[in-house]
Structure formats: C-alpha cells, structure tokens
Structure 1
Amino acid sequence: MVSVQDLELLRRTLQRDLTDVEVACFDNLWSEHCSYRSTRPLLKTLPTEGPAVLLGPGDDAAIVRFSDTCAIAIGMESHNHPSYVDPFDGAATGVGGIVRDVLSMGARPIALMDPLYFGTLDAEKNRYLFEHVVSGIGDYGNCIGVPVVGGDLGFDPCYAGNPLVNVVCVGTVHPDRFLTARVKKPGTRLVLVGSSTGRDGLGGASFASRDLAEDAEAEDRPSVQVGDPFTEKLLIEAILEMAEIGKVLSCRDLGAAGLAGASSEMASTFGAVIHADRVHLRETGMTAREIMLAESQERMLLEVEPEDVALMGAIAEKYDLSWSDIGEVIAEPRYVVTFHGETVADIPIDLLVSGAPLCPWERRPYQAETAFVRPATPVKELALRVLAHPDVAEKTWVTEQYDKDVQLQTVSHSRDAAVLRLEDAALVLSSGCNPRHIYLKPYEGTANTVIENASNLACVGAEPLCIVNCLNFASPVHPEISWQLEQSVLGLGDMARTMGIPIVGGNVSLYNESDEFNTQIKPTPSIGMAGKSDEVRRWKPAEEGDLLMLIGATRPEFGGSVLDAVTGCGGMAPALADPAVVAVVRDLGRSGVVTAATDLSRGGLLAALAKLAPQSRVELAGDPLEELFAETYGRFLVACRDESALAGVEQHRVIGKVGGDALTVAWDGTSFAITPEELETALATTTRIMRY
C-alpha cells in the first residue's frame, strides 16, 4: 500500500480523503517501478542524444535510425519478482511485455535477448527456477515468431532467492512512420484492444517495488500475470495494420499499473476521462479498482479520431480480438475515472504521473576486494574447473529451446553477439554484465560493461548505435546499495560518453532481496547494445594453421573472476580498461586482416581459447594463472595468417598456432593438454546437470 507519508502528502495536496481507486492508482504509479523516485536525478546524468537517435528515453521504446529507410525500436525490461513467484508465467509475460513496448511504436518485433541471472545449480530450487524461466521465454518467443538470438547467463549464490529475468526486444519501423505514446490533442477517443481484463496481475507494479518475502510464492501469486502468446501474435498483426493505414495517433502497451498506468501516462500532456465500466472483461463482478489496476496481458491502448473508432474496431475483429471505446482525451489536466455513472477518481494528472517525491537515500562506500591467495591446485585441474563453471560452459541446453531462425534474418548467434541481416547490412546485438566485478568496483565494473559489449560487436565488425539498460539492485534503503547504484550509473554514463554511444532507454529494478534466503543481489546493471556493420559477417572459430595473437595488456586481476568463483582466491577486480582497442579490432576485422576474433571476458584467455581455437598450441609468456585466468578487460584473442598484418597495433603478441589434437598450453618448460573429450565433458556441465 501507499506509505503513510505519501498518503498524508496526498491528503494535504488534494485537501480531502482519497477514494479506494485513487489510493490504488497512487500506490502503483508512485511505486519505484513506475516513478523511479530513487533514481530520477541519476538517470538524468546519462547521455541520451546522438545523430542516429530519433526518439530517446521516455516512451515505451526508443527509435534509432539504421538507414534512410529503416529504424530500429529497442527497449529493455525486467520481470524479476514475478519470475521467482511463478517462473514460467513471470518470464513469459516479461517477453510479452517488452514485445508490446516495441509494437506500440508501430514497429515489427524481430529479435529478443535475455540476460538471466540465477543462484548456483547445486540447489534444486535454483534448477527449478532456471528450467521454468527458460521454458517460459522459449515458449512465448517461439509462439509469437520472434527469435531469441542472444543474451547473458550468470550464476551466483546471491540470486538464490531473487533471480533476475531481463529481456531486450528490437523491432523495425520506417524512420518517418513510428508511433509515440503521448496523446496528440483533446477530443480524441481512447480505444482498448486485445485480451479481456481479468484479475491477474493486480498490484504488479507495487509488488515489483518491494522485497520478496519468505511466503512470496503463495502470497504474491495473484500479482503475476498469465500470458497468451497466440493472442499476442494476433495483436502484433492487428496493431501493425492499424499503424500502416495512418489512423493511430498514439499507442501504448498496458504493462505496469495496467489501464491506470497506460492511460494516465499516455494522456499526461492533456488529461483523460476513463469509463471503467466500458472495459471488456473476462470475469464478472470486477470492481473499478480491479479493472483499472489489473495487469492482464496482450492489451494495447490507442488514441484515434472519433470517426475512426469503428474502423479500428473492424480491424480488431478481423483478427478475432476484442475491443472497447473506453474514454476520451480532455483539455483539462485531470485524470478522471467513472464507473456506472459515478466518479471514482478525479486527480490532477501531473500529480499522479510525475508528482512522486524523490527518495534521497544515504550513500556509504565500501571496500570488498581481498588479497589474492594463490590456489595450490594444479593448473590443468583449475582449467577444467573454470571451463565447467556455468558462466563459461556451453549454453546449448538454453539455446536449443529457442527458435533462433524464425523470420529468416538471423545470420549467426552466440552468447557474445548475434548478427541479423537487415536490408543490405548487419544488425548486431549484445547484452549482459559481470555482477561479481561490479560488486567489487561498481564504477569501473559498469564502465567495463560498456567496453565488453562493444567488444562483442567489434569481433564481427560492428559499430555501436545505442545502449538500453536494466539497473538491477538490492534495496537502496541500505547506504551501501545506494552507493553501488550511484557509482554504477556514473560509470555507465561516463563510458557511454567516452565511446560516443547514446543510452536511449531502460528500466530500474530495485529491492531485489530475499528474506527466504537472507540474500541481496550483487549490483547487476545489465545492458543491451545494438550496432551496425555495412558488411554481414558470421562469427566463426579460427582455422588450422592460423596464428593466435593476443591484443591488449594482461594484469593480475582475479577478484570476481571465474577462478575466484571456483577457488575463493580473491584478488583485485579489473581496473578501468582503455576502450580505444575496441575500434582497433573492429577495423582489423573489417579489413580482413583478422580472420576470427573473440574478446576476453569470463574465464579469461582459457575460455577464449576453448571457444576460438579448441585444438591449438599456446606458449604463455609469464605466470600461467595470470595469463590464463585473469579477466582484464580490453583484450582480444584474434587469428590471422601473417604476424606482420598486425604491425603497428600496440600491445599485441603471438601466443600460438591453431592445430594439433588437443588444447596444449606451455610455459617455462612445463605444459598440459586438454583433449577434445576432456574439453567437451567440462563445457557440457550445465547441459548435463539440467538434462539429468
């Protein structure tokens, strides 16, 4: 419920008591999930403009120019709390919601990404959540015909009671014909199209803005929406047809806070009257409060001229969708709700939509890095343990559940970057972050997240167009968490400015804590990045006979590494990297000098070798632990035919050659070999756990 302080403020402002509908509207619209009351000043520091940005933050999705005839719509959302309570439906409706955000811009959804973070797989509850979240994403995406082409996957004990389910959607629209979510003028009608409204999802926005309790699964299940992907597919085609004929003035998805949220935010430039009793319902006896705040899925709200209402209804019926003429835009800045002739809400619309007071939380820095303790375990055994960690191991069990090739635009896909053919060019997508690094160094770790995703794009010759983000944190009431949040946002903004990449939209998800497991998530400012390459390049491994070259300097940075995760060795987390190397590698790939490339991230050089050159011989130049397992950013493993091709590139050296019958690593007169069978066994660990 709305806090005592907020309720008293509202009573003083309105000079009266509030109705139950008004209280429910403020409870949801003033929640952290909708109002960003803890983060608004920070979010304003982010760079949001760029030459390709046609529409930045503030709408359901951003619009970024891809070419003269094509723009991309892109958005990112979280569905964390619902996915813990009901993992299948929570994850599925997260996909449905972000797809509708893109659809509301008049764009056809063409691709999804899913950065996911779970507790460790040795616990049955975590395996259950992992299994059903992936199933929910795959089921919904496959049914609506939108491919899941990439994402991120991380495992850490901190997510045991609060998994993170983030989703990115990208769509395409003509640069001159996208829709927006703000009404255009008074006197127009508001038409609700799609599924009937039921009681599912009640209070979802306020539910997403509080900690998960021990009895969350039973108590909060009514707050989780239930999706219907087959209706969503019909809705996609209907809305696109409506947009094509040019009769839709504005459009908004019904997501957090349901009809109250969508209609008030949509009409905030003027005002609106909503007739709750006109909404088509799935259940009888629903109250005005339930109708306005239910978060039933697969619904869209359109602004149209009065004379076009019947035409919109005819198109909806063509696709077997229900619809209702539920209200009108008014000139007065009021938000009015009527129910069977009675006014049940009459609120200043600015107060509802943007009047939530800020929460100036106290901030307190902390220091969590520890001294490095060298593991006594033999290097080969450490290597196999690192490769078997689910952050590094193959993701086949996940990706095989997704139809990655529907729509026939996917050229290649991996957990690094996905390549889609768009017109005569390539749209390249990457997402994710490294929470363990960010926990130890929030500013540097988040800044390095930008470099890491741009590096993924560079490996296939793409230059970044834009960033969207999902800022997942624990409760900012804790001064250390509030400091994490501040430092992460500053690091994100500073590196985006340095690299010239606009941040065009995003989402904030706070209060990710669990009473059940007594856990707080590590800071997880996951990002999605979209880029463009004029040439379509498929990612590929190195070929026999290629020279293997390491670009970038390696430092003994083990804190938060996979080696640290499997041994507890500690150490310093990676320092802020120099992003200049990203452009160097991108240009090398475009010129054809480099035949294959991957950046070094989780698992360090060892994981990169297993991916790019699993049968090769490598000669290390120094300490094998530092060379193999450090996770310094701004480094690349590349393959080329001639060492002279990299003449002039700073900090590069030949480390080996592709070929042989194993991955052989040598240093200072010592060596070990990982056979293909040993490598396959280690990398298949996650798949083996989840299948059996």
Structure 2
Amino acid sequence: MTLDTVEYASQSPDVEQPWAELGLKQDEYERIRTILGRRPTGAELAMYSVMWSEHCSYKSSKVHLKQFGEKAPASDAMLVGIGENAGVVDVGQGYAVTFKVESHNHPSYVEPYQGAATGIGGIVRDILAMGARPVAVMDPLRFGAADHPDTKRVLPGVVAGIGGYGNCLGLPNIGGEVVFDPCYQGNPLVNALCVGVMKHEDIHLAKASGAGNKVILYGARTGGDGIGGVSVLASETFDDSKPTKRPAVQVGDPFQEKLLIECTLEVFAEKLVVGIQDLGGAGLSCATSELASAGSGGMRVELDRVPLRDATLSPEEILMSESQERMCAIVEPGKVDRFLEICEKWDVIATVIGEVTDGERLEIFWHGEQVVDVPPRTVAHEGPTYQRPYARPDWQDELQADAPTADRLKRPAGGDELKATLLAVASHPNQADKSWVTSQYDRYVLGNTVLAQPEDAGMIRIDEETNLGVAVATDGNGRYAKLDPYTGAQLALAEAYRNVAATGAKPLAVTDCLNFGSPEDPAVMWQFAEACRGLADACQVLGTPVTGGNVSLYNQTGEVAIHPTPVVGVLGVIDDVTRRTPMAFREEGQLVYLLGDTEDELGGSTWAQVAHDHLGGLPPKVDLERERLLAEILIAASRDGMIDAAHDLSDGGLAQALVESCLKGGQGARIVVPQGTDPFVLLFSESAGRAIVSVPRSEELRFTDMCGARGLPAARIGVVDGDTIDVQGHFTVTLDELRTAHSATFPALLV
C-alpha cells in the first residue's frame, strides 16, 4: 500500500477518502481541501477529524460560550482564564489554585470502569499541565433509574474506576453528587473535577515557542486503545445500529500516571520546560497542533520516533490514539539531557520527537516521508463554527403549566403523613446516604482534607503553616433545568456558591460542565443557549468568573435526550481552615435558625418526584442579591465564631437538611412551626437562598443583630436537643428510625 504522503496527495486529488466515517460533514471536508489547496493526506484527515469534532472544537457551542468572556465580572483573583488547560485563581499568600471539571460520559457507558478511571486521569493531567500539584478530585455523577438492571452494571463500574484510579494516585476524593433519573438511562453523566495548587511563578501554559527547542513526548507508550475515542464518541448520539460509533475506550494505568506526575513536577521545579500540554482527547493531534498554534513558530515532528505498544499502528492511528498517561513538553536544547535524566529516574519513557521551527506550519514525517503539512491554527483553533438553529420547544408551556399545586397533587395532611413523607424523601436514592459510594474513595490521603462528603463542600488545606485553604462544591439539577434552563443554570450556580459559603469560604470562581442532548435538535440548542445565558448573567451578578470547563453534547439515545444538566463547580478560599463550619449539629441546647424566605415552591422538587413521579411547573425563583447576602452572613458568622453548624437548603428542603445535620452530628432537634405556616411547605419547599445554622446561645444576640442590620430574614425555628427530630405538634421521628431509612437504600439496590 502506498504511503499517503503530502506529495502523493498533491498528485492524486480524486482519491476517495473516508471523511464521513470520521465524523466530518461534506462542507467541512471541502473546507479542509480549500485550506490546504489540495486533498488532505490520510494523516491530515485524521487530525482534522478529531480536532474538528464536537468534543474538541466546540463548533456548536462556542457562539454561546463566548458570553462567559463577554460578561465576565472583573476579578482581581483571575490569573489564567478560559482557553488554557484549566483556569487559575489567586488565593493569597503567593498561592494559586487551578481547577476544572470535564466529562467522560459516553466512554463510561460503553466501559464503565475504564471510562470513569481515564476521566479522572485526564482531568488530573489537565491540572498538572498548568504547573500545579493535583491535591483533590471530585465526581458529579448521574445515572438512570436506581432500580434499572443496567444501573447495576454502570454505577458499580464507574465508582470502582473513579476510586481505583484516584486512590492509586493518592488523591483524596472530597465531594461530588450521585443522582438518579430515567432520562440518564442510556447516557450516564460521569463528570470529574480536579484541584491543583502552585505558587504564582510556577504557572505553565500550552505553547511551543523558540525555534530549535525540542518537542519531547514522555509517559506511556502509544497504543491502539481509544483511537478516535472521546473525540468521536462524545460527538455522536448513541445508536445501536451504528457499532462503529463506539470505538475503543482508553485504558488507564494510575501507577504510570503517578510516576508521570512526580516526574513532571520535578522538571517544573528545575525550570526545564518552555511549554507543556497533556495528551487527552485527540491525543498527539491535539498536543502538537495546540502547542504549535499557541506558540510563535511552527513545528516539525518525526512520528516514527513515537514509542509504541503496537508496532502495526499506522501514522493516522498514532495521531488519533488517546492512550493515557502521556505529556508533550517543549524544552530548550541545553536542558534536554537533564529532562531525560529526570524521566529516567522516574522510569518514565521520554523521546525527542521533533522541534520548534521558525516557520508557520506543523510538519509531520513518517520514516522521512512528509505526511502532514498544515497551518496549525486551522487544526486547533479555527475549526467550524455553527450557528445551530434553536427554538423554544412547543411542549415547554404545557410543562410549565403543570404546576404541583395543592389542588392538583395531593399533599400530606396531618402528622402521620408528614412523617411518612419525610422518611420517603430521606430514603429516596437521590437523598439517601451515599456511603456505599464514598467509602470506596480515599477522602483523607495526603492529610490535608478538612471537609469531605457528605459536607456541603469539600475543603482542602493548602498551607500547613497558615492553614490557608480552599473549598469546592459541584451542583446541578436537571429537573429544574428541564422546567426552565435559564433559571436551572442559575440555581446550579447559586447552590454551589451557597454550599461553599456555608463552610465559611468566600466563593471566587466557577468551572462548568454543560451536559446536553443533540445540538442538531433546535429544542436542545435552545436549552443550551438559555443555560449559557443564565449562567453568564448569574456569574456577573455574583462576581464569580467562569475560568473554564467542558461541553458534552449528544447525550441522548435515539430521539430521547437527557434533561439539560449544567453542572457548576464553585471554588472559594478560606484564610483559616480551623474556622470552617461543618454541617453537623453537635451541641445540645444550640439554637436552630432558618435563614432566608420560604415560599410555596415545589416545581421540580424532590417531594413531587418521590410522592408523585411528577415533573412540571416552574423551578424555585432565583434572587442573586439574596444569595450574595446570605453568603456574606455565613462567611462572617463562621469567621467570627457565631455559628457551629451550617447547611444549605436545596433538594428535599428543610426536612432533608435537618435529617442530614442531625444524623451527621448524632443530635436531634425540636422544631417549632411558626403560627400561620403550612408545615408541609416549611418542610418540603425548595425555595433558594436559604440555609439552617446552629447558634450557641451566647452568640444569639450578636448573630441576630448582624442578620437584622444586613436585612437577612432569620427565624429561630428550634433547638438542638435529644435523639429525635420532633416537629412539635405534628410528629416525632427517632434518629435510629431515620438512620435506618437513610442508610439502607444503597446496599439494597447495589449489593
């Protein structure tokens, strides 16, 4: 077979090429021919196909994502924003923190263990590539119906993959979510977040500068796993009739990644690297084109120097392979020997595969024959931009009109029914104790975990002398977003922002993973556009810029899309982690205060789902100024020792928050329903902008004076006491009864 070189491609314009099989549209293929002035070689076609995929090029989403930059609030903390491997924020004392969330949804359905494991591996390398030491991971997860047989295949595999990879790396898993809904049956969402820490001067960027500098590929050998993997797999709707859309899922080796991390941190410490990029989606195609595109010149690569696990791989396959645990560094010639010495010390394979040139082209050679000659920006940064048509779906009005009002859905009446409802909510898979999952993760390795699941936010100490720390929370509610994607995205941000503030940390910045159905469906694109608009508008008000993130489209099976699910991560800083506020009620006699306003807001609520399998109406209203005020009060009260516990109110309302705070601390509570208040609405409404706190009696006056002076509603609703939750005049439930209901669900489903 003739090698498809650049010269041969120039002389054979009519050779048929498999552009459609590689996911390209005809107009995209014609544009490639126009850019090159000829047909592409097979290697060039492979590069363009993976880099112009939905997953890598954001071709359907970038017209909406630009709002995150256009509307970004001014932030003194932002050091590196959207466009790099991950965003970086200043947290004080010379420290910078980088964090990002990404998806590995489709691979995790095809092969749950490896799909989830390599999701963790990929996000960790993104953080590493910024110059940071990874210090913690989180995992927002969505699965199909909890009792569906396939959930028993997918969930244990995903959890084992996350735990297996993260535990082997020695990284604590400090938070996340596990949510069930039938809409995710064929498309689970496996989102992964990583946090890294560095000094300001250690920030590294993905660029290839300096003619004559060497391109070094280091880490694992390149194999046939993941060829076209996430880049193609995440760019198509699952269809059982198209097995070719399910290419091999990447296979991870966490021990190799651990060596890669330590090796990379050592070469950073010795300042041996000019630019660096991890190899994730689109593999070498991405690393070489992005480094060259962001740099000041061109690049020449000798592809036959790439260390292989499979000697039969073609140039196209090497360029498309998404084999894990690989990095690409740009190193000055005089520092190459030392770089290679450090790699050898860590038993990491390292090979000089090319060099930076003073030209403007990315040139790749195979045994002396040129197989790629492209302008790198056209591959990495100038892919297609689609103005997908979008329109509010016809069914949206009908869905919103189907509100769960008292005259339409039966509400519990009397103490016995209220108690039964509380137990049903607390034992529902979405609200039940997740220890079955989290016990498979090491939450405390490295010794700097301050808060972890099931707390509102995970918290890590980043300086052992000053106790400086950061808190991170991820949240998202697809039910809310289905009812109103603009408001649903804002509620996701508001909840994560509130969760961070509840621990005493000041929210600083946002990362997001936007999980939606097919962009070719105008209704889905409307949902996406509205969610982006809502999130950008809310970030502007709250002063929390989006630093980066991920878009995952085509999350649907056939014509059935998942609920629009924007997952939002918020990072906050706390000066002294010893002053953090946990969620557990711990001291008898402390006063329970409800902060914020409670209204009859049950659209998309846990109660409507648990009691009636109902989704309709409008989600809770968002008051972003109230969220800011609530956060300021929670942070000040934590810092000044006015509160001993805090817990945000969200899914399941006050009832669920009480269950979790009481069970976590092993303390009961006596709750008084204010006169004229409907106990059902008080317990199960999901109004936003609310939290419960426990206040030492000695601090009550100071706390209430602060709330009053700032205009935050604060109602004393009870006291920490006994071993029951006693909603006086209505019902009493023992903590033992609650614990049994709350903790029995997962073992019964999955063991």
Q: Give the TM-score normalised by the residue count of structure 1.
A: 0.96
CA contact 1:392–1:603 (8 Å) conserved in 2: yes
Q: How many angstroms does 1:660 deviate by?
A: 2.5
Q: 2: distance between equivalents of 1:540 and 1:488?
A: 30
Secondary structure class of the residue paired with 1:256: coil
Q: 1:574 aligns with which of 616, 620, 623?
A: 620
1:375 match = 410
Q: 1:307 aligns with which of 334, 339, 359?
A: 334
Q: 2: distance between equivalents of 1:321 and 1:501?
A: 39
1:491 match = 534
Q: Tell me which amino acid in the other structure corresponds to 1:143.
A: C
Identity of aligned residues (%): 40
1:596 match = 645
Secondary structure class of the residue paired with 2:67: coil
- The one-character-per-residue Cα deviations of 1:475-500 (angstroms, maximum 9, x if unpaired) are 12111111111111111111111111
Q: Is it true that 1:34 corresponds to 2:59 in the alignment?
A: no
Q: 1:284 aligns with which of 301, 304, 311?
A: 311
Q: 1:7 aligns with which of 29, 36, 40?
A: 29
CA contact 1:48–1:57 (8 Å) conserved in 2: no
1:646 match = 704
Q: 1: distance between equivalents of 2:678 and 2:372?
A: 69
Q: Tell me which amino acid in the other structure corresponds to 1:374.
A: L
- The one-character-per-residue Cα deviations of 1:24-63 (angstroms, maximum 9, x if unpaired) are 1111101111111112122221127521111111111222
1:560 match = 604
CA contact 1:560–1:573 (8 Å) conserved in 2: yes
Q: How many angstroms does 1:434 deviate by?
A: 1.2
Question: After the TM superposition, which of the residue ranges 585-594 and 251-260 deviates more from structure 2?
Answer: 585-594
Query: Where in structure 2 are the equivalents of 1:130-279 lying within 5 Å?
Result: 130-204=155-229, 205-214=231-240, 219=244, 222-268=247-293, 269=295, 270-279=297-306
Q: 1: distance between equivalents of 2:248 and 2:603?
A: 38
Secondary structure class of the residue paired with 1:223: coil
CA contact 1:419–1:538 (8 Å) conserved in 2: no
Q: Tell me which amino acid in the other structure corresponds to 2:151.
A: N
Query: Where in structure 2 are the equivalents of 1:84-99 lying within 5 Å?
Result: 84-99=109-124
2:511 match = 468
1:688 match = 747
Question: After the TM superposition, which of the residue ranges 133-142 and 372-381 deviates more from structure 2?
Answer: 372-381
Secondary structure class of the residue paired with 1:344: strand
CA contact 1:48–1:503 (8 Å) conserved in 2: no
1:21 match = 43
Q: Is it true that 1:549 corresponds to 2:571 in the alignment?
A: no
CA contact 1:513–1:520 (8 Å) conserved in 2: yes
- The one-character-per-residue Cα deviations of 1:388-442 (angstroms, maximum 9, x if unpaired) are 1122111111110011111110012124201211212221111121111111111
Q: How many angstroms does 1:540 deviate by?
A: 4.4
Q: How many angstroms does 1:618 deviate by?
A: 1.2
Q: 1:630 aligns with which of 678, 685, 694?
A: 685
1:418 match = 458
- The one-character-per-residue Cα deviations of 1:9-37 (angstroms, maximum 9, x if unpaired) are 22233232111111111111011111111
Q: How many angstroms does 1:330 deviate by?
A: 1.7
CA contact 1:397–1:690 (8 Å) conserved in 2: no
Secondary structure class of the residue paired with 1:282: coil
2:385 match = 358
Q: Sort the Cα spacing of 1:234 and 1:690 in 2 relative to 1 into closer, same or farther, 3 A.
A: farther
Q: Tell me which amino acid in the other structure corresponds to 2:602.
A: F
CA contact 2:472–2:500 (8 Å) conserved in 1: yes
Q: Tell me which amino acid in the other structure corresponds to 1:541.
A: A
- The one-character-per-residue Cα deviations of 1:147-180 (angstroms, maximum 9, x if unpaired) are 1111122111110000001111111111012211
CA contact 2:516–2:552 (8 Å) conserved in 1: yes
Q: 1: distance between equivalents of 2:88 and 2:146?
A: 38
Q: 2: distance between equivalents of 1:48 and 1:263?
A: 33
Q: Tell me which amino acid in the other structure corresponds to 1:323.
A: A
Aligned residues: 686
Secondary structure class of the residue paired with 2:638: helix
Secondary structure class of the residue paired with 2:403: coil
Q: 2: distance between equivalents of 1:456 and 1:187?
A: 49
Secondary structure class of the residue paired with 2:370: strand
1:586 match = 635
Q: 1:332 aligns with which of 355, 359, 363?
A: 359
Query: Where in structure 2 are the equivalents of 1:315-330 lying within 5 Å?
Result: 315-330=342-357
Q: How many angstroms does 1:67 deviate by?
A: 2.0
Q: Give the TM-score normalised by the residue count of structure 2.
A: 0.89
CA contact 2:581–2:638 (8 Å) conserved in 1: no
Q: 2: distance between equivalents of 1:321 and 1:266?
A: 21
Q: How many angstroms does 1:640 deviate by?
A: 1.0
Q: 2:572 aligns with which of 531, 548, 564?
A: 531
Q: How many angstroms does 1:307 deviate by?
A: 2.5
Secondary structure class of the residue paired with 1:201: coil
Q: How many angstroms does 1:678 deviate by?
A: 1.9
Q: How many angstroms does 1:538 deviate by?
A: 5.0
Q: Tell me which amino acid in the other structure corresponds to 1:356.
A: G
Secondary structure class of the residue paired with 2:602: coil
Q: 1: distance between equivalents of 2:717 and 2:522?
A: 46
Q: Tell me which amino acid in the other structure corresponds to 2:576.
A: E
Question: After the TM superposition, which of the residue ranges 483-492 and 368-377 deviates more from structure 2?
Answer: 368-377
Structure 2: runs of 5+ lacking an equivalent: 1-21
Q: 1: distance between equivalents of 2:382 and 2:644?
A: 55
Q: 1: distance between equivalents of 2:541 and 2:725?
A: 38
Q: 2: distance between equivalents of 1:426 and 1:241?
A: 24
Secondary structure class of the residue paired with 2:524: helix
Q: Tell me which amino acid in the other structure corresponds to 1:15.
A: G
Q: How many angstroms does 1:224 deviate by?
A: 0.8
Q: 2: distance between equivalents of 1:48 and 1:313?
A: 43
Q: Tell me which amino acid in the other structure corresponds to 1:498.
A: V
Question: After the TM superposition, which of the residue ranges 375-384 and 626-635 deviates more from structure 2?
Answer: 375-384
Q: 1: distance between equivalents of 2:745 and 2:433?
A: 7
Secondary structure class of the residue paired with 1:689: helix
Query: Where in structure 2 are the equivalents of 1:667-678 lying within 5 Å?
Result: 670-678=729-737
Q: 2: distance between equivalents of 1:559 and 1:540?
A: 26
Query: Where in structure 2 are the equivalents of 1:405-484 lying within 5 Å?
Result: 405-415=444-454, 416-423=456-463, 424=466, 425-484=468-527
Structure 1: runs of 5+ lacking an equivalent: none
Q: How many angstroms does 1:220 deviate by?
A: 5.3
Q: 1: distance between equivalents of 2:40 and 2:309?
A: 28
Q: Sort the Cα spacing of 1:122 and 1:497 in 2 relative to 1 into closer, same or farther, 3 A.
A: same
Q: 2: distance between equivalents of 1:677 and 1:612?
A: 14
